[in-house]
């Protein structure tokens, strides 16, 4: 019995000194948490904005509008908007337009540059309406998942007079 006890004690002492000074390794994988992106697929957006319209004939108009957009993916969407403009000494005009929207979210900065192409029609109290096409670009910044601000500019072109104009918009965007 003494021999067995002495053998076990020596085995423990030798084994203890064999592990002394080495680090115990853990084989756990490190999990990297990717930051969440505030721009999502299947996103419905509602816009309220101020707008300015600058014709090539130096007649400017000011107004505002409302818009709704839907993004099928994080990058591709469609949008429809209704604008109202007033010029000093002239009648009020309305414009309805639809656009294909392409955006590239920079999730780390909560920023999304975007481009648009589309068309629509403008009409007023005293004149007949006419169609137009547009192409433009903009920038959106998100404060939260659902609230952001945006600004964009687009070139409007038409076969009717005035033949071209630049429209700028700035406003609030609510995303759902």
Confidence of residue 61 (pLDDT cuts 50, 70, 90): confident
Instruction: Give the residue extent of every domain in the chain.
Output: 43-175
Report which of residues 30 and 68 the model is more confident about: 68
Contact 47, 67 (CB under 8 A): yes
The structure tokens 């014709």 sit at 55
Confidence of residue 16 (pLDDT cuts 50, 70, 90): low
Q: Please, what CATH class does the domain formed by 43-175 belong to?
A: mainly beta
Over residues 107-129, the pLDDT tens digits come to 999 999 999 999 999 887 666 77
Residue 78 is predicted with a pLDDT of 98
Residue 23 pLDDT more than 70?
Answer: no
Closest CA to 90 of 129, 109, 62, 118: 62
Residue 87 pLDDT more than 90?
Answer: no
Residue 4 pLDDT more than 80?
Answer: no
Report which of residues 69 and 27 the model is more confident about: 69
């Amino acid at each position: 019995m003494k021999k067995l006890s002495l053998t076990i004690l020596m085995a423990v002492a030798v084994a203890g000194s064999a592990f002394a000074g080495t680090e115990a390794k853990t084989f756990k994988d490190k999990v990297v948490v990717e930051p969440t992106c505030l721009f999502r697929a299947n996103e419905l957006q509602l816009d309220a904005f101020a707008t300015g319209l600058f014709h090539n004939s130096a007649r400017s108009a000011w107004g505002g509008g409302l818009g709704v957009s839907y993004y099928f993916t994080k990058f591709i969407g469609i949008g429809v908007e209704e604008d109202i403009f007033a010029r000093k000494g002239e009648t009020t005009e309305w414009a309805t337009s639809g656009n294909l929207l392409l955006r590239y979210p920079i999730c780390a900065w909560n920023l999304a540059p975007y481009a648009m192409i589309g068309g629509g029609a403008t009409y007023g109290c005293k004149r007949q309406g006419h169609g137009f096409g547009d192409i433009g670009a903009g920038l959106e910044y998100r404060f939260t998942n659902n609230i952001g601000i945006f600004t964009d500019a687009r070139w409007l072109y038409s076969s009717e007079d005035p033949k071209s104009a630049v429209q700028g918009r700035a406003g609030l965007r609510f995303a759902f």
